[in-house]
Amino acid sequence: MYAIAIYNNKGGVGKSTLTVFMADFLASLVIRDRPLRVVVLDLDPQGSCGTALLGQDTLEEARRSGLTLGDLARRLDAGQPVAIENYLHRRPATPVKGRATAIGEVAVLVSDKASGFAFEVNPLHRLTTLREKLRPFLATRCDIVLMDLPGNIDERNLLAVNGLIMSDSVITPVEVSRFSLEALPNTLEMIRYARERGGGERPFCLGMLLNRADKRGQQYQRNIGQVHALAERLGIPVFENVLPNAQTLTAATDDGSLAGSLRERYGHYHAHVKAVVIEAFRRWNAVEG
């Protein structure tokens, strides 16, 4: 199992969008005759990822039932017996002709403000609970864990920091704008903090992924030099593949009840997501040696 956190401390840069794209794409893959098993941890109480993958109704039902990540973390932390399986809310596969473009099954662990807050107000809660108690469970049931983190977090966000500490590596979506770049040192600081508190060298930085990048656009041309200079100074790689800006994509991440194949849902954008995921595979193979 490999766990990737999608994290930039800046808000609105495409963390949730990238998480959903990657989840959809990875879940559509069949490796050695078996679909890749993908679990998404929606660590953001806003629930963008949960909405996109499960649909609003299922997300609300999951929250009403109290089967949320905050509740799970609290129980695991207290050493209470808990059936983790019940916390995995499933987005079923959409059967279509031709396996390669099918929408695969994804399991989602959802957050809500109340349970996240209940976990976070207690400073005694441990930062390594998810890594110690959730990760071994997931390791036997899935191949890839993707985590959508909220923006604007700090050391007090115990649930989000738990997520970072549980992850093997981080992908940081950024927009090619000055505002987006300003949050980078802070983002890397949080990743370092997670590494330090986790007591090891994980999570690794897989790199910055340029989102809404229009290579021919003025903003891109004006700022791309600065992006690479900053990345070099901070010692963080930049993905060669980018995710272009595509207004039509909002529908793809709007509501999990959307049907259709991967290609119907993403159109030609499918190729960009594929290229990014393949590059991510290559990068994590490189850092894992």
The residues binding ligand ATP (CB under 6 A) are: 11-17, 44, 46, 48, 150-151, 211-212, 243, 245-247, 249-250, 253
CB of 17 to ligand ATP, least distance (A): 3
CB of 219 to ligand ATP, least distance (A): 14
- Piece of the chain touching Mg ion by CB under 5 A; list 16-24, 25-33, 66-74, 80-88: 16-24
Distance CA 103, CA 5 (A): 22
Distance CA 196, CA 177 (A): 30
Residues 176, 220 contacting (CB under 8 angstroms) = yes
In the set 28, 48, 111, 261, which binds Mg ion (CB under 5 A)?
A: 48
Q: Which two tokens stand for residue 207?
A: 């790199």
CB of 178 to ligand ATP, least distance (A): 17
- Which of Mg ion, ligand ATP, none binds 45 (CB below 5-8 Å, type-dependent)? none
Amino acid code (one letter) for 263: R
Residues 245, 212 contacting (CB under 8 angstroms) = yes
| Interface positions, 246-285, toward Mg ion (CB under 5 A) | none
Q: Which two tokens stand for residue 145?
A: 């864990």
CB of 274 to ligand ATP, least distance (A): 15
Q: Which two tokens stand for residue 20?
A: 């959903």
Distance CA 150, CA 138 (A): 22
Name the residue nearer to ligand ATP (CB basis): 41 or 76: 41
Q: What is the DSSP letter of 241?
A: S
Name the residue nearer to ligand ATP (CB basis): 53 or 76: 53
What residue ranges bind Mg ion (CB under 5 A)? 15-16, 48
